[in-house]
Amino acid sequence: MATWDELSEALEDYTASCNTNDRLRKMQRDWTRTLHFISSDTDVTFTMVVEAGEITGTPAGHHGVPDIVVTTDSETFCDMFWGDLNPVAKYLRGDIAVRGSQEDVMRLDAISYVIWPDA
């Protein structure tokens, strides 16, 4: 079970990796979304705000109306944001549950794929 501090550290690294990746920024230039995350084992919730492909905030709690809601356990979230696991494999096994359009779900995975192609 990962703590909020561990999650925050992972989110901070993920944000920096995304925002400094030129190819990803170009690919996601038309992607403005609000993502809600729910950690199923700790009940921790947080939000990710993406504006034109740039992650502009990852505050605790749920803010705004979401385009996508992602639910999984805290360890999976940590590994996912550190780029240590392949989100698609977890998703196809039903370990990560997502609410949102198929296109947004794919975009979310594309972020991990572009910044960590070997994960």
Partner 1 sequence: MSQPGTGEIHLRRSVGTATATATSAGLAFAAIDYLGVVSIMAYAPGASGWLAIGIGACLMVLVAGVFSELNGLYPTAAGIRLYLGRALGTRTALTVTFTYMTTVVLVIAADAFLIGAALRHVLHEPAGLAYLWIAILLAVATAANLRGVVLAGWIQTVVTYVVLASTAVVSIIAIFHVGGSFRTPLHLFGAKPLSGIQAIAFALFLFAAFEWVTTTAEEARGPTVISRALFLAPLLIWATSTLFLLGLSHLVPFAALHHSAFPQLLLGQAALGSVGELWMLAITVLTALNTFNGGFLVASRFIYAAAREGNLPPMLARLNLNAVPWVAVCTLATASAVLAAVIFATGQWLLLVAVGATLEAGIYALASASLLILRRKEDRDRPFRLRGGRGLAIAGTAIFSIFGLATGLADPADSSHFSPAPLLVILVLAAISALYVTLGVPRVQAATAARRAAAARPSRRPPRPTAEAPPSDPTVEPMEP
If one asks whether residue 54 binds partner 1 (CB under 8 A), the answer comes out as no
If one asks whether residue 23 binds partner 1 (CB under 8 A), the answer comes out as yes
Contact 82, 72 (CB under 8 A): no
Q: What number of other Cβ atoms are within 10 A of residue 91's Cβ?
A: 17
The torsion defined by the Cα of 56, 31, 45 and 15, in degrees rounded to 10, comes to -40
Contact 85, 52 (CB under 8 A): no
If one asks whether residue 103 binds partner 1 (CB under 8 A), the answer comes out as yes
- Name which position in 37, 50, 77, 78 contacts partner 1 (CB under 8 A): 78
- Name which position in 20, 51, 52, 84 contacts partner 1 (CB under 8 A): 84
Query: Interface with partner 1 by CB under 8 A: which residues?
Result: 1-6, 8-13, 15, 23, 26-28, 31, 34, 38, 40, 42, 44-46, 55, 57-61, 65-69, 71-74, 78-79, 82-84, 86, 88-89, 91-95, 97-103, 105-107, 109-110, 113-114, 118-119
